[in-house]
Structure 1
Amino acid sequence: MASATDTARAERPKRRSSLSWLPGTRLGRLIIALNVLGLAILVSGALVLNELRRGLVEARIDSLTTQGELMASIIEQAATVGEPAPAMDAAYANDIVLQLLANPKGQRARLFDAQGNVVADSDWVLDRVEMKILPPARSRGEDKGGLRLDLQMPRQEQPTPESARRALDAELRRALRGEHVSGLRRTGGGDRVVSVSIPIQHVQAVLGVLTLEARDVDEIIARERMALIPFILIAVAVTLISSLLLNRLIAQPVRRLARAADRVRQARARAISLPDLADRDDELGDLTRSLEDMTHALSERMDAIESFAADVAHEIRNPLTSLRSAVETLELVKDPAARDRLLGILKNDVQRLDRLVTDISNASRLDAELSRDQPKLVDLERLIFDVVALYDATLKPGDVRVRFQSAGGMEPVTVMGREGPLGQIFRNLIDNARSFSPPGDEVTVSLYRLKDEVLATVSDNGPGIPPENLETVFERFYTSRPKGAAFGGNSGLGLSIARQIAEAHGGTLRAENRLGAGDKVIGALFSLTLPGAGS
């Protein structure tokens, strides 16, 4: 019978998670979402800034290219002299460059002749020179014998004026061949510049090269890096928050569960009780409820074992008391007839003890057998036929016969279960029915196919069962015998074991009386219902 707690748990509504579209379980989805969120923020910020950087550089190249083509066109039209061998008027071209330079502070314009020599430079007019920060001064101890002892790790090669000059020369050579060259390169001081080199052409002749450089690339990149810092801080904050949440939602509850389990083990408590965790609608809540149910079932099992032990002690004490009284009286009785009666009592009590011990042993091993054997497909019709054939093979004159009425049909009647315990149900029911049947009478075992179930019945022609005892007969050690029946012939465990096996297979076992004319009781009927193999 289910408890109020079990009923409340079964009726507790399940809340649907807002992250149910993610794969996995609720807590797993939360872990995935929190960790992916921080990473997504960082990645999206980096992608946005990379796209911004690329767009700014490309926009700067386009702007410089447009400006350079305009200036080169004007120089070619206004500062070209000589026919048929044209040449560039360097002084006039220099004036044109300085007048047309859009941003003299943020840009640098240089004009080269056809041989690659500098004929004009905006930095000359502005008295601007390239600066390079010197390394920190070394103490005297760092130099020994004119040699510097460098104990640091080797650094990546830094740009030098020579490497910057080589990069500029390569750009000039391409421009002097008539190509428009644009891109990023470094100066001798290590600064990055956006450079555009436009050839100045008169018809097919290249008269010179105009180079425009934008020097604010490093400033743009530095601003972008500063803009990336909030994204990094947000990602770090999300990661820290997710870590704290995981610690609070997983690590601490698991630690509490472990400590509760230790208390159950060390203090020999009966059950784990953590109601705040059991109310959670995630895997830890499921685990807590499962542990509470498990320890509750173990507690009930311990109570059942204690009750069973008390019942066993009570049932064994009765024949032992009778044996002790008969043995003590036997020494005092001299009458042979009386001694024979006492010996008969002793024999009956020994048989009763033997039956009790056998049935108690079967009952105690039942749970282990049910948990050890795996369910499989059982042909119930063949099983009952084999059980009935065993009774027929051992039938003696005057014994109650057993008749089997099969379900008929071409297909076998199958159930999912354990063949040994299922056979024990029918043996217990048949033994019980035979014990209440008149000598030479008949017990009938019938099998029926239902829609999704299988029904088996065992009926007899005995005195029936009192209406108030239709459920009591399934209690342990309960026996109700008609007058004249042999005392101690049954242990009272057979029907209890049969119902326990039936419920372990998902079935039911109930008792009722067979009624004849005038509602007269003409026998007892035990009905066993089991789920079909396809249910």
Structure 2
Amino acid sequence: MVPVIASPRSEDRELTLRWSARVSLTPRILFVNVFALALLAGGFFYLDSYRSRIVDSRVAQAQREARLIAEAMGAVDLPERTAVAVRLGRDTGTRIRLYDNAARPVLDTQMLGLRNFVLADPDKQGWGLTAARFLDAVIDTVVAAPRPPLYRELRSGNEWPVVRIARTTGTAPANVWRAPDRTPVITAAARVPGVGVVMTTINARDITKTVRVERFRLGVVLAIVSIVSVLLSLFLARTIVRPLRRLARAAVRVRLGRAREVVVPRLPSRRDEIGMLARALSDMSLALRARIDAIEAFAADVTHEMKNPLASLRSAVDGLSRIHDPELQQRLLAIVRDDVHRLDRLITDIAEASRLDAQLSRAKFESVDLGALIAALIAQHEERGLERDVALRFDRPPATPLIIAGEGARLERVFENLITNAVSFSPEHGLIVLSAMVEAGEVVIRVEDEGPGVPEESRETIFHRFNSFRPADESFGKHSGLGLAIARTIVEAHHGTIHVEARDDRLHGARFVVRLPLGAQP
């Protein structure tokens, strides 16, 4: 039988896990799903760039508003500037301050009662806003976002950078500050010709509020997805890891020699790979249990078969020491020789039967011509001579090679055993007929004798080891009872069958039928 040769090196390379081989499946499943969630959590850091774009947009808007307010302030007379400043401050939501050419304050909408620029005190805010500011600080630290300077009030216009720049260039880039509650404060300035410099200040809480609202929504989604993902991961790990652990514990108990009381779960409701594994392990444990039972039965049979010749041998040896009659001593010596030959034959057959399965599993099959093999066996028996003048005849289709894939030496042992068995049951001048033919892609070999035949109830047990069904006139111990068992093992290893049946011609005798798959024909 050609063994199935696996490639352990290639399989090891395919199944090797370099860094996670020692980690249980449960944390691996959780890690993979949590890693995907971590990618989703990256949306928090995307919000930082989103906030930066909003701030840049508001900075550009503040610069435009500063220029428009400066033009409006320069277009009106001095008595009207206060009312225009308050109206523009209310419409734009900014604090407007006007400085003269010497950077002295001239007008401030906050002093005029417009309270649209008020910095919140973080110490007086609730825990929710405190947690939000903490998250702002954490995300800014992780993404290494630039930290604006803390906003504080300055007394003169010369202390404001945007005012100094606007006095000389006409306009100044807006500045972004950080309020105590971490909301952005934007200042912008523009020169008013002939008057001075106007500066606008706005606390853009709406930017922080928008970012925090989006972050809260994303956090809710992430929390829900995380909970669902973890629960699904635990469910997946349970459906995979728990049955694998049960199978592993059962396999360990089998390995420790407790195969008889181990019931490997078959998981019949599962149709996935784990179910296939469970059923394969269950079948393997049953086959192992059957093999153990067969080995134990074989050992018991060997012990029983060897006790008989040993007891006879011991009795004969003990009798030799007490009997002085030469004729009786010769009889006892003959018994000793028969028992020694019987033990030798029994040990040889037992050794071959015990090694047969392992040897056949490593055998390399070749093309064998059964016709030539059987013809050679018959010629050897005829040259040596057959007992009771028994004759052999071989009927085969002319010029038809009977080629199969197998091991010639083992197949020769099969037909040697069948011929020897037929000779031992044949009467005086009996005829043993071997026939060969091809039927339905199989080579069929029949061996017919003219003996008493095999009772129907014994047609299966004769293939068991140490079967004692022998001819009535045969001396005890001439056969080991392993010949037909060895023949069946070899035939089945060649993917064939062997059985015994009655002859079709209603004559006395038995017919052994061997079927072997036909090989490639030359």
> Under a length normalisation based on structure 1, what TM-score does the superposition of the two structures give?
0.62
Contact 2:431 2:450 in 1 (8 A): no
Question: Partner letter of residue 455 of structure 1?
Answer: V
- Is residue 2:438 matched to residue 1:448? yes
Instruction: Identify the range of structure 1 (502-511 vs 287-296) with the bigger mean alpha-carbon deviation.
Output: 287-296
Are 1:34 and 1:238, in contact at CA under 8 Å, matched by a contact in 2?
Answer: no
Q: 1:398 aligns with which of 368, 372, 385?
A: 385
User: CA–CA distance in 2 between the matches of 1:429 and 1:238?
Assistant: 70
1:498 aligns with 2:480: no
CA contact (8 A) 2:265 2:282 kept: no
Which residue of structure 2 lines up, in the alignment, with residue 319 of structure 1? Answer: 309
Q: Which of these residues, 493, 500, 504, is aligned with residue 511 of structure 1?
A: 500
Q: Note the C-alpha offset of 1:379.
A: 1.7
Answering whether residue 208 of structure 2 is matched by residue 218 of structure 1, we say yes
Distance verdict in 2 for CA 1:103–1:285, change over 3 Å: farther
Give the CA deviation at 1:480.
Answer: 3.5
Of residues 181, 184, 188, the one that matches 1:193 is: 184
Give distance in 2, aligned partners of 1:252 and 1:211: 68
User: Within 5 A, what are the aligned runs for 1:237-256?
Assistant: 237-238=227-228, 241=231, 245=235
Residue 526 of structure 1 aligns with an amino acid whose one-letter code is V
Note if contact 2:247-2:265 (Cα within 8 Å) is conserved in structure 1.
no
Alignment-derived partner of residue 137 in structure 1? none
Assess, with a 3 A threshold, how the Cα gap between structure 1 residues 112 and 361 changes in structure 2: closer, same or farther.
farther
The separation in 2 between residues aligned to 1:111 and 1:426, in whole angstroms, is 122
- Please say if residues 199 and 210 of structure 1, whose CA atoms lie closer than 8 Å, have aligned partners that are also in contact: yes
1:236, distance to aligned residue in structure 2 (A): 5.2
Distance 1:122 1:79, change over 3 A: closer
Matching residue of 1:463: 451
1:524 maps to 511
Distance 1:72 1:442, change over 3 A: same
- The percentage of aligned residue pairs carrying the same residue is 33
Q: CA deviation at 1:493?
A: 1.0
- Higher mean C-alpha displacement, 125-134 vs 396-405: 125-134
Cα drift, residue 478 of structure 1: 1.9
Q: Which amino acid aligns with 1:352?
A: R
Alignment partners' CA distance in 2, 1:59 and 1:285: 56
The 3 A distance-change label for structure 1 pair 169 and 62 is closer
Alignment partner, residue 478 of structure 2? 489
Q: How does 1:346-361 map to 2 (within 5 A)?
A: 346-361=336-351
Q: Secondary structure at the match of 1:515?
A: coil
- AA in 1 matched with 2:445: T
Q: 2:494·2:516 contact (CA, 8 Å) conserved in 1?
A: no
Gaps spanning 5+ residues in structure 1: where? 1-27, 82-87, 135-154
Name the counterpart of 2:287: 297
Question: For 2:503 and 2:111, how far apart are their aligned partners in 1?
Answer: 124
Verify the 8 A CA contact 2:40 2:222 in the aligned structure 1: no
Distance of 1:111 and 1:70 partners within structure 2: 14
Q: Shift in Å at residue 388 of structure 1? A: 5.5
Per the alignment, do residues 328 and 158 of structure 1 end up closer, same or farther by CA in structure 2, a change over 3 Å counting?
closer
In 2, Cα distance between equivalents of 1:532 and 1:344: 49
Shift, 1:65, TM fit: 6.7
How much does 1:271 deviate?
A: 3.0
**Would you say how many aligned residue pairs link Structure 1 and Structure 2?**
461
Q: 1:230 aligns with which of 220, 227, 233?
A: 220
Q: How does 1:406-445 map to 2 (within 5 A)?
A: 413-415=403-405, 421-422=410-411, 424-436=413-425, 444=434
How far apart are residue 294 of structure 1 and its match?
Answer: 3.9
User: The residue matched to 1:360 in structure 2 has which SS?
Assistant: helix
Instruction: State the match for 2:357 in structure 1.
Output: 367
Tell me how far 1:224 sits from its aligned partner. 3.9
User: Offset of 1:340 from its aligned partner?
Assistant: 6.1
Q: Who is 1:270 aligned against?
A: 260
Paired residues of 2:499 and 2:514 also in contact (CA < 8 A): yes
Which has the higher mean CA deviation after the structures are superposed, 55-64 or 308-317? Answer: 55-64
Distance change in 2, residues 1:356/1:132 (3 Å): same
Helix, strand or coil: the match of 1:369? helix
Summarize the Cα distance change of 1:476–1:68 in structure 2 as closer, same or farther, 3 Å threshold. same
Q: Output the amino acid matched with 2:486.
A: I
Deviation, 1:501, is: 3.5
Amino acid at match of 2:287: A
What residue identity is the alignment partner of 2:447? S
For 1:388 and 1:177, locate their aligned partners in 2 and report how far apart those are by CA, in whole Å.
Answer: 121
Q: Could you tell me how far apart the structure 2 residues matched to 1:166 and 1:474 are? A: 113
The verdict on how the C-alpha distance between 1:177 and 1:531 changes in structure 2, with shifts beyond 3 A counting, is farther
Which secondary structure state, in structure 2, belongs to the residue aligned with residue 220 of structure 1?
helix
CA contact (8 A) 2:396 2:437 kept: yes
1:99 matched to 2:90? The reply is: no
Deviations 1:61-92 (A, max 9, x none): 7788789868866865x5566xxxxxx98986
Partner letter of residue 471 of structure 1? Answer: E
TM-score by length of 2: 0.63
SS for the counterpart of 2:503 is strand
Which is worse superposed, 211-220 or 249-258? 249-258
Could you report, residue by residue, the CA deviation over 1:324-368 in whole angstroms, capped at 9, with x for unpaired residues? 5555667758585x7766655544443332221111111122233
The answer to whether the 8 A contact 2:259-2:285 is kept is: no
Conserved? CA contact 2:444–2:514, under 8 Å: yes
1:465-523: CA deviation from partner (whole Å, max 9, x where unpaired): 3241322321222243445445433222111122234344543222223333xx33465
Match of 2:367 in 1: 379
Q: Distance in 2 between matches of 1:485 and 1:276?
A: 51
- CA deviations on 1:243-280 (whole Å, 9 max, x unpaired) are 75577556666666566566667785623136597766
Q: Equivalents in 1 of 2:151, 2:184: separation in Å? A: 16
Q: Using the alignment, how far apart are the partners of 2:50 and 2:146 within structure 1?
A: 28
Partner of 1:151: none
Are the structure 2 counterparts of residues 213 and 450 from structure 1 closer, same or farther at C-alpha, using a change threshold of 3 Å?
A: farther
- Deviation readout 1:422-481 (Å, 9 max, x if unpaired): 554344334434544577966536363634xx3341424442632413223212222434
- The SS at the match of 1:396 is helix
Aligned 1:170-181 pairs, distance under 5 A: none
| 1:308/1:212 CA distance change after superposition, 3 Å | same
Conservation of the 8 A alpha-carbon contact between 1:455 and 1:529:
yes
Q: Over the residues paired in the alignment, what is the CA RMSD in angstroms? A: 5.8
- 8 Å Cα contact 1:201-1:208 kept in structure 2: yes
Whether the 8 Å CA contact 1:159–1:189 is kept in 2: the answer is no
Assess, with a 3 A threshold, how the Cα gap between structure 1 residues 347 and 157 changes in structure 2: closer, same or farther: same
The structure-2 alpha-carbon separation of the partners of 1:225 and 1:286, relative to structure 1 and needing over 3 Å to count, comes to same
Q: Deviations over 1:269-323 (max 9, x none)?
A: 6231365977666666555555544444333333323322332233233334444
Counterpart CA distance in 2 for 1:162 and 1:194 is 7
